[in-house]
Structure 1
């Protein structure tokens, strides 16, 4: 086989594999959206689920998912940024650094069910919080922290060394260079990493089964006292997220309109995750163009 023919065959194989992946993913997303889109309306997105009669929705579950996202990222982003900056700017090539990176890679590949059991022992039982949003947020932090550290490290390492050298030549110290030069240049990558990491929160269910719980109390959205058990902002109340709700509806089968709620919940979850991924690419590209004036 000649080199030209081999190149054409390899190109065809690569294109065929890419199209196969696109077709499989497109078919899966299209199937979910087609069946679930029929159930999505304003009442479905705002009302709580009904156990006695049909016509319930997923309003509290959507709120719990977004609230859990906020709580989790309050821990993940600051710690992940500090850890990534340390590995990129301060850590030297030593055995300690290799151990740290090995631990990060191990945590990144750890099954979420294991993190859930860890959260059950530490965040639920040892702290005395019980099943709560705070316990779930800390468990998700354990899951997302390695990814955030990796995104931060790669974004910081992508900043040209010439910018660091120019900052030092102008009299700035190392800390001032990181704060005023390195992080602003790496900001588009940091934003993209944070949004992609956030998207993982919506699809997580296994870890939350053991930490945040599988039920939610009746919420009073007019009650803004976070210490009240019925307040939606209370971080120490149990909360059922959208992904957990899909699992619960399909396994227990207690509600009369099970198929409608399950299909609609899956479609909403797909749309939210797609929205986060597309937002990461769009926002990162826009910030990069704004900061580089291109």
Structure 2
């Protein structure tokens, strides 16, 4: 009887087949990923290349004009930041608090399960629904008209479900060993949340805030219905009851309703500014992630 074990031809062919499938799948993933990245870079380059070279300080800080060419986007750009900041000030604390409650304090029963389903459903509801809710609340019930505060609060309602779910999932992703170790060292539940859970889950939470901030800055449907398509005509208008046209709304208006001769050029420059600022918002929110990563090393 010959020493050793004879090789199985069926096992060898199975291994070679699995290796071929793995290589094909890896190649497919690389191809799709590279094509997607090229498409995104090409789209960004197309938008920025058309508008960025034409930008000027007069355009960024100037007042819009309904008839004559050469108008700017100053008030609309200011309103975009103003509405964004107000909406984040409202939605971030409430969304984080709701997410922490659902992950740490809420009982595991059918009502909480139904509540989670409702939050997930609201996170996928079209933004125009929140705009209609804003009309009912601010225009009809409170009778304040189309205002900055109406648009900001409606955007906060739009962001709340997303922030709640992101916070809950980020807190739940923290290893239970870290939580138990904090309790074993004598930490209270509040101290554990503040000093262990939130710092570890900070990457996921800030990523969620970054997503809703970019979405809110480029949102138009909610603003059109709750803040209007005009500005007060003042560059730095902090009055919460003033009309609140934002840059995204101004871009839509110029493309669809405006009669100025240079409407196409204004739209190209406004689109470039909008995309550039959204990119900068994403970069700005990455800074805390980098700082947090350096602290945890």
The Cα shift of 1:17 comes to: 1.0
Unaligned runs of 5+ in 2: 1-15
* SS of 1:85 mapped into structure 2: helix
From 22, 29, 36, the equivalent of 1:14 is: 29
- Is 1:48 matched up with 2:53? no
* Residues 98-247 of structure 1: pairs in structure 2 closer than 5 A: 98-219=113-234, 221=236, 232-247=237-252
The Cα shift of 1:63 comes to: 0.4
1:267 corresponds to: 272
1:257 corresponds to: 262
The Cα shift of 1:76 comes to: 0.3
The Cα shift of 1:130 comes to: 0.8
Distance in 2 separating the partners of 1:103 and 1:196? 20
C-alpha contact (below 8 Å) 1:192/1:283 kept by paired residues: no
RMSD of equivalent CA atoms:
1.7
1:284 corresponds to: 289
Query: Is 33-42 or 153-162 further displaced after alignment?
Result: 153-162
1:70 corresponds to: 85
C-alpha contact (below 8 Å) 1:156/1:182 kept by paired residues: yes
Query: Is 212-221 or 69-78 further displaced after alignment?
Result: 212-221
C-alpha contact (below 8 Å) 2:51/2:269 kept by paired residues: yes
Distance in 2 separating the partners of 1:25 and 1:138? 32
- Is 1:37 matched up with 2:42? no
Structure 1 residues 158, 31: CA separation in 2 closer, same or farther (over 3 Å shift)? same
Distance in 2 separating the partners of 1:44 and 1:286? 35
Q: Deviations along 1:230-289, whole A, 9 cap, x unmatched?
A: xx1111111110000010001113222101110000001001111122333343132222
1:229 corresponds to: none
Unaligned runs of 5+ in 1: 222-231
**How many pairs align?**
282
Distance in 1 separating the partners of 2:222 and 2:33? 32
Distance in 2 separating the partners of 1:91 and 1:261? 50
Query: Is 158-167 or 248-257 further displaced after alignment?
Result: 158-167
TM-score by length of 1: 0.90
Query: Is 261-270 or 156-165 further displaced after alignment?
Result: 156-165
TM-score by length of 2: 0.89
From 82, 93, 103, the equivalent of 2:108 is: 93
The Cα shift of 1:220 comes to: 5.7
